Amino acid sequence: MVPTETTPAGWTEDLVRFLESQPEVAAVRVNPAGRKVSVATLGPVDAEQLALRIAEVVRAIEHKLAEGGRSRAAPAGFVVRQSGATTTVERPTCVTAPGFWRWTDYNLAPEEDGREVEHGDEWRLLSVLAAGCGGAGLAAFVAGRLGAPGGLVAVLYGAALVAGGWDAAVDSWQNLRRRKLDIHFLMLAVAVGAVAIGAWGEATLLLFLFSASGAMEAFALDRTQREVSALLHTAPKLATVIGPDGAEHVVKAEELKVGDRMLVRPGDMFAADGEVVKGQSSSDESTLTGESVPVEKLAGAPVFSGTLNLAGVLEVRVLRLSAESTLQKIIRLIQTAQKLKAPSERFTDKFGAGYTLLVLGLTATMFLVWWLGFGLPAFRNEPGQFSAFYRAMTLLVVASPCALVLSIPSAILAAIAWGAKHGILFRGGAAIEKLAEVDVVALDKTGTLTTGELAVVSCESFPAGRERDVLEFAYALEKNSTHPLARAVTRHARKAGVRLREVERFESITGQGVRGKFAEGSVILGRRELVAAGPFASWLEKMPPAHAEFSEIWVLAPGLIGRLLLKDQLRPESRGVLAALASAGITTVMLTGDRRHAAEAVARESGVSEVRSGLSPEDKVAAVDGFGRAGHKVAVVGDGVNDAPCLAAAYVSVAMGARGSDAALEQSEVILMNDRIENFLAALRLSRRARRIIKENLFLSLGTVLVMVTASLFGSVPLSLGVVMHEGSTVVVCLNSLRLLLGKNR
The catalytic residue positions are: 444
CA gap 447, 654 in Å, rounded: 13
How far CA 660 is from CA of 320, 374, 567, 641, 721, in Å, comes to 11, 72, 24, 10, 57
Q: Find, among 661, 186, 646, 627, the residue nearest to 392 by Cα.
A: 186
CA gap 17, 740 in Å, rounded: 39
Q: Find, among 255, 243, 239, 238, the residue nearest to 66 by Cα.
A: 255
CA gap 577, 435 in Å, rounded: 16
CA gap 626, 643 in Å, rounded: 17
Q: DSSP per residue over 376-441, as a string?
A: --SS--BTTB--HHHHHHHHHHHH--HHHHHHTHHHHHHHHHHHHHTTEEESSHHHHHHHTT--EE
Q: Which residues contact 285 (CB under 8 A, 6 or more apart)?
A: 291, 295, 304, 307, 674
How far CA 663 is from CA of 71, 291, 318, 640, 709, in Å, comes to 28, 22, 20, 6, 51
Query: Pairing state of beta strands 521-526 and 513-518?
Result: antiparallel
Q: How far apart are the first and last CA of the chain?
A: 59
CA gap 36, 30 in Å, rounded: 6
CA gap 712, 393 in Å, rounded: 10
Residue 477 in contact with residue 503, Cβ under 8 Å? yes
DSSP state of 311: S
User: Could you check whether the bond before residue 463 is cis, i.e. omega within 30 degrees of 0?
Assistant: yes
Question: For the chain, give me the number of helices (H) and strands (E)?
Answer: 24, 30
CA gap 237, 208 in Å, rounded: 44
Query: Pairing state of beta strands 587-591 and 610-612?
Result: parallel
Q: DSSP per residue over 454-506, as a string?
A: EEEEEEEEESTT-HHHHHHHHHHHHTT--SHHHHHHHHHHHHHT---PPPSEE
Which residues does residue 276 pair with via DSSP β-bridges, in sequence order? 316
Backbone angles phi, psi at 668, to 5 degrees: -95, 150
DSSP state of 75: P
Residue 683 in contact with residue 668, Cβ under 8 Å? no
